[in-house]
Amino acid sequence: SGESGAGKTESTKLLLQHIMNLCKGNSQLEQQILQVNPLLEAFGNAQTVMNDNSSRFGKYIQLRFQKNTVQGAKLSEYLLEKSRVVQQDTGERNFHIFYYMFAGLSSEEKEIYGLLDPSLYRYISGRFGTQDVAQHWKHKYQEVCNALDMVGFQEQEQVDMRAILAGVLSLGNVTFEPDESNGPVKVSEASKGWLKAAAVSHKNCWQKPYGYDAFSHWWWSCCCSLCADARDSIAKMVYGRVFGWIVSKINELLAENVDPEVELREIGILDIFGFENFAVNRFEQLCINLANEQLQHFFNHHIFQLEQAAYKEEGLPWETITFNNNEPILNLLLAKPLGLLSLLDEQSAFPQATDKTFVDKLNSSFKGNLHFQPARGRVLGFSIIHYAGKVQYAASGFLEKNRDTLPANVRGLFISSITPLLILLHIHHEPRPILARVKCGDEVLWLDELLIFPCPWQHSLMVLMERMYSANPHFVRCIKPNSQKEPGVVDNQVVLLQLRYNGLLETIRIRRDGFSWRPSFEEFAER
C-alpha cells in the first residue's frame, strides 16, 4: 500500500521476481507469470498528474504452491477506472494501449482499422509526445504483442481486439444535433463518417439492416446530452469487457494442472491503487480512497489491536499505544442504511433523483459529522476528512456512474454482431431493465429501454477484504519520496506526512517496545 506514485506496482514486480527466483521450479510457468505484466499495464495503467504509470485498477495475484514449487496462479481485478476511456483531466492521458497502438501499428494496419491522426480523437487527450516518446511507445506495443502471443491469444482474437479499440475511439467522435423532421436529435452530418468508422471497426454490427436502423432510431429519439451519455457508456462498457476478457485469458494460461485432491498452499499479493487527492476528485477517487480506508483499517487491526490484545491476554506489563482509528470514516461511508454509499444506492434507484438531491441528502444526514464537510457556496460537492487528509469531491456524475446504465437495444446489437469477440464479451452479462425519466428541454421522456448493470465494485471490495482477513498478512508500506516525480530526491516533509497518516511512527514504537519476533518453543530449542 501507499499513495499514488509511491512504487507499489514496481515493488510487486520485484517481489514476484524474488519469489520466482527462490522457487527454481516450473521455469516456463514462472516466465509466463512475469510476462503478463506488460499486458496488464498496457490496458490497465495510464499517466496521471501524480504518476506516469499509474495503475487504474487493483489486482490480487494468487500464487499456488506444491512442495515449494509454483503450480499455478490466478489474477483478480478490481475497480477498473472505465471513465478514463471517455474523459481525462488536464495533464493526464487515456490508457496506455491507445498510444501504443498509434505508435506501433504500421500505416497499412492503421488503414485497415480506420485509424487517423491521434490528434483528431476526442477520447485521446494531450499532445501525442516527442519522437523519443513515440519510439518508447512503439517498443511497448511490441512488448504487448509478444505478451498476447505468449498468453495464447489467437491471431483473429488480436485483430478483433484492435478493431474494437479503434471503434471505441471513432465512436467518441460521434456528435448530435437537432433533427427538424424526424424528432429531437440526430447524428450530426459532420460526424456520420465517424459513426460509419465505428460500425466498420465492429464488423458492421451497427450497419446491418436491423442493427443500424435500431441504433439510429434510438439515437434520434432522445436529447443530445442523453445520446452523448449513451455513447460514452457504450465506450466504457466495451473497454471494460475487453479488459476482463484479457484477465480471463491470462487465468486460463496460468491455471494449475494438478490433481484436485492435492492441497496447494498460497501466497497472495495485493497491488491496489493508492490514495488520491487531485484538483478535481470524482466518483472514481471516492471508490479508490474507500479501498485505501479499508486497507488502513485492516493494517490497524493487525498491527495494533490484535498485537496488543495478545500482550494483554498473556499478562505482559504493557502501556497501551494509541493509534489513529479510522473506523468512524468507514462508518460514514459504509454504514447501513444511512452511510454515504447506501444513500447513493437509494438515490440511484429513484428515476427523478439528481446529483443535487444526493448532495442535499448527504448534507442533511451528516450534519455535525466530524469527517464530513458540505461544499461552500454553490459548488455541487462535499468533502471527506480521510485518514490521509481532506479530499473535496465533485458530485457531478455520481448517480450516473453508480447506475452504470446502457440502452437496451445496444446490447442486442452487440450480440447480433458478426464479430465473434463482441458476441463473447456481451452474451454472459445479464443486466436488469429499469424505467428512467429524463428531462429534455421542457419535455419529460420516459425511457423503458435502459439497462442497469449490477455495480460489482462494492461486492468485489467486500470479497477482497474477506480474503485479507482470512490470511496471515505481511505489509509492504511504500513511501513516495517527493511530489515532482523526480528520481533521487527526498522531500522530508512529504515523507514525514506519509509516516504520520499511515501510522508508521506508532508501528515503529510497537515493534521497538513490543515483541515483534515470537518463535515457537521448538524453533527456539533448535536454535
> Can 281 be counted among the known catalytic residues?
no
> Of the listed 9, 45, 94, 405, which one is catalytic?
9
339-351 burial by CB neighbour count: b if 16+ within 10 A, else e? bbbebbbebbeee
Under 8 Å CB-to-CB from 466, ≥6 apart: which residues? Answer: none
Helix (H) or strand (E) holding 293: helix 283-300
State the maximum Cα–Cα separation within the chain, in Å, rounded to a whole number: 91
Cα(499)–Cα(503) distance, integer angstroms: 6
- Which residues are paired to 65 by β-bridges? 70, 265
Q: Residue 514 in contact with residue 307, Cβ under 8 Å?
A: yes
Cα(445)–Cα(180) distance, integer angstroms: 18
Cα(527)–Cα(522) distance, integer angstroms: 9
> Can 289 be counted among the known catalytic residues?
no
Q: Is the peptide bond before 337 cis (omega within 30 degrees of 0)?
A: yes
Residue whose cell numbers read 516518446 = 133
C-alpha cell at 271: 497491488
Q: Which residues are annotated as a binding site?
A: 2-9
C-alpha cell at 183: 424528432
59 closest CA partner among 47, 74, 72, 49: 74
Question: How distant is the alpha carbon of residue 392 from its chain centre?
Answer: 20
> Of the listed 30, 41, 77, 276, which one is catalytic?
276
The C-alpha angle 9, 327, 76, rounded to 5 degrees, equals 30
> Can 54 be counted among the known catalytic residues?
yes
79 closest CA partner among 464, 391, 474: 464
> Can 460 be counted among the known catalytic residues?
no
> Can 106 be counted among the known catalytic residues?
no
> Can 276 be counted among the known catalytic residues?
yes
Residue whose cell numbers read 455520481 = 398
Q: What are phi and psi of 486, to 5 degrees?
A: -100, 140
Give the number of other CB atoms < 10 A from CB of residue 527: 6
Helix (H) or strand (E) holding 440: strand 432-440
> Can 315 be counted among the known catalytic residues?
no
Under 8 Å CB-to-CB from 133, ≥6 apart: which residues? Answer: none
- Which residues are paired to 177 by β-bridges? 186
C-alpha cell at 144: 504487448
Cα(60)–Cα(271) distance, integer angstroms: 6
> Of the listed 1, 12, 48, 54, which one is catalytic?
54
> Can 266 be counted among the known catalytic residues?
no
Q: Is 353 helix (H, G, I), strand (E, B) or coil?
A: coil
> Of the listed 5, 58, 172, 240, which one is catalytic?
5
Helices (H), 25-85: 27-35, 37-44
> Of the listed 1, 45, 48, 55, which one is catalytic?
55
> Of the listed 72, 104, 240, 274, which one is catalytic?
274
> Of the listed 1, 51, 170, 201, which one is catalytic?
51
Q: Which residues are annotated as a binding site for ATP?
A: 2-9
C-alpha gyration radius of the chain: 25
> Of the listed 4, 48, 170, 502, which one is catalytic?
4
| Residues taking part in catalysis | 4-5, 9, 51, 54-55, 274, 276
